[in-house]
Each structure stands twice: as structure tokens, then as C-alpha cells.
Structure 1
């Protein structure tokens, strides 16, 4: 008993009390079953933020990885190794040059391959050389052909003066070129070059059909070729007798004639001096005499240098004339 005269019940009931408490426990359990289950779910601070844990179900690894993924990964790995080896050996560049890179392949598959190439304005350069120089191959495609780069590559050839590259979609490429025309031959350091009118050295003399072009000799003579051809025009009937023009000190010309004679022209008024030479030769046959050089650099006189034989003969004739004159005085 407690101080109030009540009988205290043990916290752990005996056999008899257990039987009495079961109905109450059963009633309590049925009451709990009727309550909504979400009232008994433990809440967390993340619940207020809208987070929910997703229940996970164990799935076998073989079902998570797509079918044949391992095979494709293996093939891709060895493909990367092979591609890396091609790049190191330089074979990829050759392959791309022949078949195009992957983007060209895709563009050709979509109908944007280069089906037709029109080249206009060429006379001496072969078409295959033009295509190779521009980097146009069967593997090229219209969208990925760099027209500006192709133009620069073509202009790197001294034979090509100007070029225009146009794309006509879906599959035609038009190249319009202007070639430099062979204008003269230029001898420099013992080698002969074909030069254009603007003085550009096009190539070494390989085509013997160009050997008849006017020949200029000396440093910078290629840039003065038009002035030399003007002298040949002034030479008139003597033009066929002129073998070459030598530029002296970049200022004046000395003409080398077929018979070895040198014609020294002035720096100023060279065409007029050439016309004077034509007149002298017509009147006296000057170019057919035994002379080594004719100096026309002075406008009021002509200086002639004789050959050694002619000089000796002239000297001997002079002595004979003097001797005849002395005898005449004595008598």
C-alpha cells in the first residue's frame, strides 16, 4: 500500500496480471492499426525542403551495361591506338589526302562532294598540276574546301599571276587563272631564267622553244627587260644582229652583237643613240669593219676601238704615209 491506502501494482505483472492486461494491449494494437501510417513516419530536416530518398533496388551489373558495350569499347580502344600510330607515321595525312578526312566523308555522303572542276585560263600548266597544287583530291568536299587557302597555294607558283576560286553548290568548283607569259631570258650567275614582263623569274630555261626570247644579263636586268626590248625596236634592221643586252651598274646598256662587237649606249637617250648607229652602219658599213667596240655615250662623236690586227694595220699604214711625206720633202 502507499500512503493513501492504495495498493501498488507491480511494473512487471505476474501470470495472473498478464492475463488481465492482454485485452487492453489488444485494444491498443487495434487502435494503432486504424491510425494512418504516415503519422508514424520519422521526419527529417530535408523533408521540409522537398527532398525524398529514392528507394533503390539491387540490379545486376550485367543488366545495367548495354548489350555488346564491352565489344564496342574494345574496338574503340584499338581504333584509337591504330589512329595514333597512323598520325605518328604520317600515314594519316596520306590517307586524308586520298580519301578526305571524316568531315569530308560526311559531306560527300550528303551530296556535297566535288563532282566537277572547271579550270580556265591555263596554256602551259597541266590541269593535274593545278589540282595537286590547290590541294583538290577525290576526297575533298565543297563545304570544307578552303577557297582562300587554295588560292594562296596557287599564287605561290611564279607561273600564275592571278587566280579566282569559286564554289558553285552543290558540287562544282571553278578555277580562273591568269598565267605569266614568257617575256625574256635572264642570265644570272651562269643560269638562264624565263622572266615575265614584270621581271618575275618564272622558271629556269627548260623548254628549248623559248631559247629565242630576248636575253638580258646582269643584276636587275630582269626588271629592265621592257627597256631593253624598246632598244631592240629602235635597232630596226640591226635587231637580228643583237645577241644580248648587258645592264652595266644598273644604269646603262651595252649590246653584245653576234660578231662579238660591243655597242656602248648612254644612260640617257639610248634609243636615239641606237638610231644613230643604224644610220652609220647604213652609210659606212661600220659594223662590218674590224672593230671591237663602238662607244655612243657622247652625243657629238663616235669612239671606235679597233681589233689588234686592225690597229696594227692602221699603225703600219700611218708609218708608210709619214715616210712618203718625208721623202717628198727631201726631193
Structure 2
């Protein structure tokens, strides 16, 4: 039979036999339609053709590429990268990459509240849109913080790990009291009223020299338990003001030798218990002791002599 021409009459096609039903179709609805297998936080990833695993890999890959570009091309690319990162963060937030937990490590309870306040992060914030370097700078601006490290754990957690500055003493000068660390730096957020257990150092220069004298006094518990304050005199030397009103005058040099001399004297005669007005250790060749009954009614002051 000749072939049928276009536009011409065509011979009737024979009906095709029906294909057997697919075994898959006969098993009922698929798991994807039934729902319940995709994690809630990443459920939206399936709607754009990404599995949860692929979504996390993609996020990590984009961040890595942006970091390499910023390092290779300088500040301009870094600024562009930050803008792209913010946009990326908004996109991935819809897939579950939103801030749900912040963990502060290495901080005391008093410091933790100030650190979280300075961090300025909030629940459901896009995790991938966080500028970690800016966040670290804000945390390190807190007086409690010596150094900070910020770690982003996908999909929803932020770790703030810090080294906290150790409180050394309360420094009193010009009518104000402040808490200082071992380097003499003021910790603005620390309250002197809540630091009554810390030693008290008084006067100009006491903040810078406290770290040198305090361990020597602390090494002598009998003396330390009686000290009310350490007074810096003319920014040269120390007077120890005791709780019973006595004054121990230390020399400008070789404080350790003077403290040993006082310790030996106390072992022999229990001088710290006798309540002398003043014990003068400034001359290494002699100890001058003034009985309390010679004290003027106006009281004792550090005379700087």
C-alpha cells in the first residue's frame, strides 16, 4: 500500500494495547507526598529541589568561596561579599538556617549578660547573614572580655567562647571605686559593691602596682587577714592599713625583705595582735614601732615620708 501523503487521507491506525500498570503506582502514595520524613527546619529545601544535606553543603560552599574571594581581592571584595552574605542569609533563613541558640563559654554569670547584650543577636536571625568579625569586635569591647572567638554551627547555633579578664582588686582614687584586672585596667561593667571579697588598693598608681604587691601579701595569710587596704604613697611605696587601725609602712624598694622582717617579728612577739599605731619598716637596718597611745586624735594618714 502506498504511503499516505501529508494533508491527504490517512489509513486508520490500529488501537494500541494498554500498557500494564506500573508496579510503583499500585503501591499507593509516595513518601514525599505523604510527608513527615523531611526535618522541619529544612523542609522547604525539598520544595526547591534540595535535600537537607545538599542545602547545608551548598551553604558551607558559598561561605567558603566568599571567604577565599575576600582574602584574595581585598577590602572591596570583602564589602561586596558581606552584602552577598546578608542576601544569602535571608534566602537560607527560609530553609531553617535561623538562630535558635546562643552558648557563651568561659564567662562568669555576671559577664554573660553583658556579653549577650553587646553581641546584639536575636532569635530567628538569619544565621548565614551574621558578620562574625563584627560580632567578635562587639564582644571584645566588653570590659570583662580579654579575647573572643565566634563559631557558627549550622543550621541554628552560635558559640561565643571568651577568655575573661580576672578581677584583681577594687581601686579607690579621687573619690571613685573601680574594679581592676591584673594589668591595672578598669573593668567598667564590674560593680565594686558586689566585689567586697577583693582587696582594696588606694591612691594614684595603686592600679598599676597592685599586681606586684598583692601576691606577696596573700602569701602571708596571717597578715592578709588583718589588712583593710593597701595605700599607695606618692606612687613610690605602700602603706598597709590594718583593720584595727594600725599602719605598716613598707619601703620603696625591697618590699619582700621588709615583709620577711615583719613576719619574723610577729612570730617572736605577736606584734600584729598588740595593736601598735605604726610599724615603720622603711629603714632596713631597724624597725620603728609607735605605741597606740602616742597617736594624735586626728588619726593616721599616709604621710609619704
The TM-score, its normalising length taken from structure 2, stands at 0.60
Q: 1:205 to 1:188 in 2, by over 3 A?
A: farther
SS at match of 2:170: strand
Equivalent in the alignment of 1:175: 160
Contact 1:230 1:271 in 2 (8 A): no
Equivalent in the alignment of 2:246: 261
Give the Cα–Cα distance (whole angstroms) in 2 for the partners of residues 310 and 217 of structure 1. Answer: 22
Q: For 1:279, which of 258, 264, 287 is the aligned residue?
A: 264
Contact 2:237 2:251 in 1 (8 A): yes
SS at match of 1:183: strand
Task: Give yes or no for the alignment of 1:191 onto 2:176.
Answer: yes
Task: Give yes or no for the alignment of 1:227 onto 2:199.
Answer: no
Compute the displacement of 1:244 (Å): 1.1
SS at match of 1:136: coil
Give the Cα–Cα distance (whole angstroms) in 2 for the partners of residues 129 and 310 of structure 1. Answer: 48
**Bigger relative CO (Cα 8 Å, ≥ 6 apart):** 2
Larger helix proportion of the pair: 1
Q: For 2:147, which of 162, 173, 178 is the aligned residue?
A: 162
Give the Cα–Cα distance (whole angstroms) in 1 for the partners of residues 284 and 249 of structure 2. Answer: 12
Equivalent in the alignment of 1:108: 93
Compute the displacement of 1:293 (Å): 1.8
Compute the displacement of 1:204 (Å): 6.7
Q: 1:166 to 1:103 in 2, by over 3 A?
A: same
Deviation readout 1:2-30 (Å, 9 max, x if unpaired): xxxxxxxxxxxxxxxxxxxxxxxxxxxxx
In our comparison, the structure showing a higher alpha carbon Rg is 1
Give the Cα–Cα distance (whole angstroms) in 2 for the partners of residues 230 and 224 of structure 1. Answer: 11
Equivalent in the alignment of 2:43: none
Give the Cα–Cα distance (whole angstroms) in 2 for the partners of residues 299 and 255 of structure 1. Answer: 17
Q: 1:234 to 1:299 in 2, by over 3 A?
A: farther
Contact 2:100 2:124 in 1 (8 A): no
Contact 2:88 2:128 in 1 (8 A): no
Q: 1:300 to 1:160 in 2, by over 3 A?
A: same
Structure-to-structure mapping, 1:308-323, within 5 angstroms: 309=294
Q: 1:306 to 1:126 in 2, by over 3 A?
A: closer
Equivalent in the alignment of 1:118: 103
Compute the displacement of 1:274 (Å): 1.1
RMSD: 2.8
Q: For structure 1, which runs of at least 5 residues remain unmatched after alignment?
A: 1-100, 312-331
